Amino acid sequence: MARGILIGVAGGTGSGKTLVVQHMIQQLGSDRVVVLQQDSYYKKLNHLSFEERAAQNFDHPNSMDSELLIQHVEELLNGWTVDIPVYDFTTHTRREETRRAGPHDIIVLEGILILDNPRLRELMDIKVYVDTDPDIRFIRRLKRDTQERGRTVQAIIEQYEKTVRPMHLQFVEPTKRYADLIVPEGGYNWVAIDLLKTKIEALLQEKSGQRNGKG
């Protein structure tokens, strides 16, 4: 069986990664694409109190359960199904339930730190970095965390100053150099979206040829 295609979509918080992924799904068809969000793979912190969980640095690579993420990516690429963790951002814990996904031809992995991990980079067929100005990213994060995650404005500002911004400068921004395609302004850059679609379709044709013994 031919291997699946892995597309990595990285970029800072609020850069527009999710919109890029949504447009890719619209262009390619939802039946062909499975999306893995790195945020689903935060380490299980159920043994800690809420205050201890809230104090964790969630923007450092060590906050991720990278082994499980890599295992799931490899299984999806091999055409298997996986049970993706469901993370609750209001309590900073994994829920008991999981989300089953796969098999699909195209796996899209989205997250701020995915290009920081060499093992993940080696698995990727296309590496994308979504690049958006810091002030726009902060405003988007502020809106998201107040509306969707039950955070206060003060708590969001403190977290941004203490961990989000310094971790972005240390671990996220430098991974731009690994990208095959840098997308300014995220999902509103239709030229970049079209380029991505064209490249993905070429990879799919190549995969189809290999399956039929032509490659």
Examine the pLDDT at 215 and tell me if it is beyond 80. Answer: no
Q: Please tell me the predicted confidence (pLDDT) of residue 64.
A: 95
Per-residue model confidence as pLDDT tens digits over 42-88: 998 888 888 888 888 899 999 999 999 999 999 999 999 999 999 99
- Whether 207 is covered by a domain: the verdict is no
- Whether 74 is covered by a domain: the verdict is yes
- Whether 122 is covered by a domain: the verdict is yes
- Whether 213 is covered by a domain: the verdict is no
- The SS3 assignment for 189 reads coil
Average pLDDT, the chain: 91
- Whether 210 is covered by a domain: the verdict is no
Examine the pLDDT at 190 and tell me if it is beyond 90. Answer: no
pLDDT band at 27 (very low <50, low <70, confident <90, very high): confident
Count CA atoms closer than 13 A to 71's CA, side-chain side: 9
- Whether 215 is covered by a domain: the verdict is no
What is the distance between the alpha carbons of residues 156 and 198, in angstroms, rounded to a whole number? 38
Residue-number span of the structural domain to which 167 is assigned? 5-202
* 97 contact partners, CB below 8 Å, separation of at least 6: 86
Examine the pLDDT at 178 and tell me if it is beyond 70. Answer: yes
Q: Please tell me the predicted confidence (pLDDT) of residue 110.
A: 97
Tally of structural domains, the chain: 1
- Whether 99 is covered by a domain: the verdict is yes
Q: Is the pTM of this model over 0.75?
A: yes
- Assign residue 183 the CATH number of its domain: 3.40.50.300
Q: Please tell me the predicted confidence (pLDDT) of residue 213.
A: 60
As a 3-state breakdown, the chain gives helix, strand, coil percent values, each rounded to 5, of 55, 20, 25
